[in-house]
């Protein structure tokens, strides 16, 4: 039995004219872009943005019910435009506010129901990679090294790269919404409050200032609504000829500091919804100019949402950056590729047999395959409890292309590949997703039972029959008697599977 046909052909081709959609769930604003593919590039068809300020509803790591409601209401409006886009061609990513929210599932679970697609909460460096990808596609394909900066509501991303390849990625906990709250209490504008924001940003930059200093790049490019707003104001008021420079920033700073509160700010060219974030944004970019010796910044229209579209195009045309991440991880930890290949092949067979009855999808196979490839990387740390070491690495490593949820699920598959399966293993998995992850754990454990046999001999033909809550193996007569270790390991799995609501039969 071979699942290769099912698992490879499920992935769509991407002919010209295909529609793709990306949703950026930012700490300040939510953005939706629907784009059509044309000759390997994308052309925007619909673009929407709403100032939700999810980050403003974050206190002590908890999103307020009001902030969650604002976000879900916005997504309900976005969803109306998504009817023309296939669900597998829609990707929604959450950034800093959802990264740090302990109760993010209170938002992501209903958001998934509204959009019909999962919410990928991404790590800061993954956000930086996607920002760079979006910006790079709007720039000339030259060989200049460039520094790309994106100031968001809760974090700021910095990337040094060339062409379409990022070389250094960083995400810092400083954003225009979070600084508005922490540095300008009550929206009051004073030189002391402004200096507090500037000093906080300068301090946050201290650990990385040498790696991102002007001597390491030739061109500086800004991304995000805040930087585009600053650029627009400098040009409109003739405080800068083109782009952002130090002299222009000082003039804008002086103008803004003349107001007493954020609500008082009235400035030609400044949208009302940016009043409470423009001054923190100026403080952050001023600190960036000073700390990194930036003389001039041009601003790009490309941003995270465009990067998500281009990354999605890669996934749908077999250029998935996650493949590179897994291969690099295997090399870094000298993973046993022979054993990984055996586990992957057995997992593929079991997945194919159970897929329909267990309601598994192509994305489940991808996760399972990556788990099979990396299940033994913990051996590089210690043989004892290697599964725990594997799980720790998979949960905490920087893996370009992967969301937090995907890394958490990979960690569960690694942790639960052997021994007892404790309920605590699923702590970070949304309750509704646990049964599906448990099915993948079962496949993983069963595939591992055969890895020692297959190194020595070819497995005989055997049959697999699955039901919604069952799986039955049937081997040739006498084979289990000749392989007592495998027979014993399979019998041990019966009790483990039963605890996960599955009946396992071996004959």
Both structure tokens of 265: 């700010």
- Which residues, 6 or more positions from 432, have their beta carbon under 8 angstroms from its beta carbon? 109
* 8 A C-beta contact, residue 380 and residue 334: yes
The answer to whether residue 133 is domain-embedded is no
* Same domain assignment for residues 262 and 343: no
* 8 A C-beta contact, residue 288 and residue 201: yes
What pLDDT is recorded for position 130?
96
The CATH number covering residue 28 comes to 3.30.420.40
The answer to whether residue 130 is domain-embedded is no
Strand boundaries in 7-108, DSSP class E? 19-25, 29-38, 41-51, 58-59, 62-63, 90-94
The answer to whether residue 336 is domain-embedded is yes
The answer to whether residue 197 is domain-embedded is yes
* Same domain assignment for residues 162 and 292: yes
3-class DSSP state for residue 80? coil
Query: CA 376 to CA 186: how far, in whole Å?
Result: 53
* Same domain assignment for residues 31 and 82: yes
Query: CA 370 to CA 375: how far, in whole Å?
Result: 8
Mean pLDDT of the chain: 91
Is the per-residue pLDDT at 5 higher than 60?
no
Query: CA 412 to CA 394: how far, in whole Å?
Result: 9
What pLDDT is recorded for position 120?
95
Question: Which domain does 344 fall in, by range?
Answer: 320-506
Q: CA nearest 140: which of 256, 281, 300, 332?
A: 300
The answer to whether residue 131 is domain-embedded is no
Picking from 315, 344, 377, the residue at the C-terminal end of a domain is 315
* Same domain assignment for residues 324 and 219: no
19-25 and 41-51 beta bridge pairing: unpaired
The answer to whether residue 128 is domain-embedded is no
pLDDT for 265-283, tens place per residue?
A: 999 999 988 999 999 999 9
The CATH number covering residue 490 comes to 1.10.3210.10
At 455, the pLDDT band (50, 70, 90 cuts) reads low
Q: CA nearest 383: which of 336, 338, 345, 326?
A: 336
Q: CA nearest 104: which of 47, 74, 62?
A: 62
Query: CA 225 to CA 273: how far, in whole Å?
Result: 11
* Same domain assignment for residues 241 and 355: no
* Same domain assignment for residues 337 and 464: yes
Strand boundaries in 317-430, DSSP class E? none
* Same domain assignment for residues 114 and 215: no
Phi and psi torsions of 29, nearest 5°: -130, 155
Query: CA 382 to CA 100: how far, in whole Å?
Result: 31
* Same domain assignment for residues 171 and 244: yes
pLDDT for 198-223, tens place per residue?
A: 999 999 999 999 999 999 999 999 99
* Same domain assignment for residues 263 and 368: no
* 8 A C-beta contact, residue 7 and residue 362: yes
Tell me the whole-structure pTM to 2 decimals: 0.87
* 8 A C-beta contact, residue 437 and residue 429: yes
- The DSSP code for 5 is H
What pLDDT is recorded for position 7?
45
pLDDT for 366-406, tens place per residue?
A: 999 999 999 999 999 999 999 999 999 999 999 999 999 99
* Same domain assignment for residues 32 and 161: no
The answer to whether residue 129 is domain-embedded is no
Q: CA nearest 346: which of 458, 256, 248?
A: 458
Q: 1-15, 133-147, 309-323, 347-361 — which one is most confidently predicted on average?
A: 347-361
* Same domain assignment for residues 293 and 325: no
3-state helix, strand, coil in the chain (%, to 5): 55, 20, 30
- Which residues, 6 or more positions from 78, have their beta carbon under 8 angstroms from its beta carbon? 23, 30, 32, 48, 115
First to last CA, the chain: 18
Count of domains for the chain = 3
Picking from 269, 288, 315, the residue at the C-terminal end of a domain is 315
Query: What is the percent of the chain with per-residue pLDDT over 90, rounded to a whole number?
Result: 74
At 486, the pLDDT band (50, 70, 90 cuts) reads confident
The CATH number covering residue 240 comes to 3.30.420.150
The answer to whether residue 191 is domain-embedded is yes
- Locate tokens 């995000």: which residue? 224
What pLDDT is recorded for position 387?
93
* Same domain assignment for residues 116 and 163: no
3-class DSSP state for residue 52? coil
Is the per-residue pLDDT at 142 higher than 60?
yes
At 4, the pLDDT band (50, 70, 90 cuts) reads very low
Alpha helix locations (H) across 19-92?
65-79
């Amino acid at each position: 039995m071979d699942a290769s046909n099912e698992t490879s052909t499920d992935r769509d081709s991407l002919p010209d004219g295909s529609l793709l959609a990306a949703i950026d769930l930012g700490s300040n604003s939510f953005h939706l872009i629907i784009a059509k593919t044309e000759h390997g590039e994308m052309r925007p068809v619909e673009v929407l943005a709403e100032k939700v300020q999810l980050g403003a509803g974050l206190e002590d790591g908890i999103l307020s019910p009001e902030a969650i409601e604002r976000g879900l209401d916005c997504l309900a409006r976005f969803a109306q435009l998504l009817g023309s886009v296939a669900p597998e061609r829609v990707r929604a990513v959450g950034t800093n506010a959802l990264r740090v929210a302990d109760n993010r599932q209170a938002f992501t679970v209903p958001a998934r129901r509204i959009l019909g697609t999962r919410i990928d909460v991404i790590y800061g460096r993954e956000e930086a990679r996607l920002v760079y990808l979006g910006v790079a596609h709007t720039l000339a394909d030259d060989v200049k090294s460039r520094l790309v900066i994106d100031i968001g509501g809760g974090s700021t991303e910095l990337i040094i790269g060339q062409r379409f390849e990022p070389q250094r990625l960083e995400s810092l906990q400083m954003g225009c919404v979070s600084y508005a709250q922490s540095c300008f209490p009550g929206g009051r504008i004073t030189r002391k409050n402004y200096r507090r924001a500037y000093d906080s940003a300068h301090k946050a930059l201290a650990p990385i200032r040498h790696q991102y200093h002007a001597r390491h790049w030739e061109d500086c490019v800004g991304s995000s609504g805040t930087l585009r707003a600053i650029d627009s104001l400098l040009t409109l008021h003739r405080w800068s000829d083109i782009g952002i420079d130090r002299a222009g920033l000082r003039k804008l700073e002086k103008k803004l500091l003349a107001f007493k509160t954020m609500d008082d700010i009235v400035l030609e060219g400044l949208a009302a919804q940016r009043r409470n974030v423009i001054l923190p944004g100026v403080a952050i970019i001023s600190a960036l100019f000073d700390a990194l010796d930036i003389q001039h910044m041009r601003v790009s229209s490309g941003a995270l949402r465009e990067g998500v579209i281009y990354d999605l195009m890669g996934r749908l045309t077999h250029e998935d950056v996650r493949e590179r991440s897994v291969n690099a991880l295997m090399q870094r930890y000298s993973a046993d590729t022979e054993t990984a290949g055996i586990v992957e092949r057995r997992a593929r067979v079991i997945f194919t047999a159970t897929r329909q009855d267990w309601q598994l999808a192509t994305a489940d196979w991808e996760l399972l395959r990556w788990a099979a490839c990396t299940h033994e990387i913990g051996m590089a740390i210690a043989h004892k409890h290697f599964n725990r070491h594997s799980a720790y690495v998979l949960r905490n490593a920087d893996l370009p292309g992967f969301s937090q949820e995907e890394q958490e699920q990979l960690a569960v598959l690694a942790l639960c590949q052997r021994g007892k399966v404790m309920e605590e293993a699923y702590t970070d998995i949304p309750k509704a997703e646990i049964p599906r992850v448990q099915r993948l754990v079962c496949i993983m454990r069963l595939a591992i039972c055969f890895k020692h046999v297959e190194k020595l001999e070819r497995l005989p033909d055997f049959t697999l029959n699955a039901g919604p809550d069952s799986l039955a193996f049937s081997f040739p007569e006498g084979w289990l008697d000749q392989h007592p270790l495998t027979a014993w390991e399979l019998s041990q799995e019966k009790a483990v599977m039963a605890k996960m609501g599955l009946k396992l039969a071996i004959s």
